[in-house]
């Protein structure tokens, strides 16, 4: 009996030790993984207003070139007539006024491009395009000098080159 009692006591003593590993442990708190934050890219600046300004200058130039072609042909014809015969003083005066008007209008186109260039230069996000506008304004100034020297065909070609540059600039901005 003593043996049974010792055995029972030992059994009760070891039973809780043996049952302990089977108990449910409270779940360990695992560190929750932080959501990966991807840096939000800064949105590209909206350059559509700048492209619209260049587009407006291109439209003005295109309208001028349309009229310029017709007028320059008339002026060249008047110069040819002046070489072969003496035109009336009224025709000569009208021709000179038209030539001066063409030079003035070309200068106005140059001034518009120079103003646009200045606004591009003063805006940090548009500064990279400023030299291209400067080149276009310089080409228009050259066209004004050519027109002033009665070299209308060359002036027209220079202005067409400016139109090409402005169109390329619009594409680059967008």
What is the domain partition of the chain in residue ranges?
Answer: 48-173
Closest CA to 94 of 108, 107, 82, 109: 82
Instruction: Say what percent of the chain tops pLDDT 90.
Output: 25
| pLDDT tens digit sequence for 144-157 | 999 989 888 899 99
**Range with the lowest mean pLDDT among 14-23, 51-60, 75-84, 130-139?**
14-23
| pLDDT tens digit sequence for 47-97 | 788 889 989 999 999 999 999 888 888 888 777 777 777 777 787 888 889
Closest CA to 72 of 110, 97, 105, 98: 98
pLDDT band with cut points at 50, 70 and 90 for residue 32: confident
> How far is Cα 172 from Cα 174, in angstroms, rounded to an integer?
6
């Amino acid at each position: 009996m003593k043996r049974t009692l010792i055995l029972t006591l030992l059994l009760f003593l070891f039973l809780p030790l043996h049952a302990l590993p089977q108990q449910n442990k409270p779940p360990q708190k695992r560190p929750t993984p932080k959501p990966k934050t991807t840096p939000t890219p800064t949105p590209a600046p909206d350059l559509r207003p700048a492209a619209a300004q260049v587009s407006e200058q291109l439209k003005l130039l295109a309208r001028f070139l349309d009229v310029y072609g017709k007028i320059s042909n008339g002026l060249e014809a008047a110069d040819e007539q002046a070489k072969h015969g003496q035109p009336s003083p009224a025709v000569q005066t009208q021709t000179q006024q038209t030539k001066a008007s063409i030079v003035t209008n070309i200068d106005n186109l140059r001034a518009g491009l120079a103003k646009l260039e200045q606004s591009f230069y003063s805006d940090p996000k548009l500064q990279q395009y400023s030299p291209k506008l400067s080149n276009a304004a310089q080409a228009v100034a050259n066209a004004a000098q050519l027109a002033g020297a009665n070299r209308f065909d060359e002036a027209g070609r220079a202005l067409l080159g400016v139109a090409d540059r402005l169109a390329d600039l619009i594409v680059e901005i967008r």
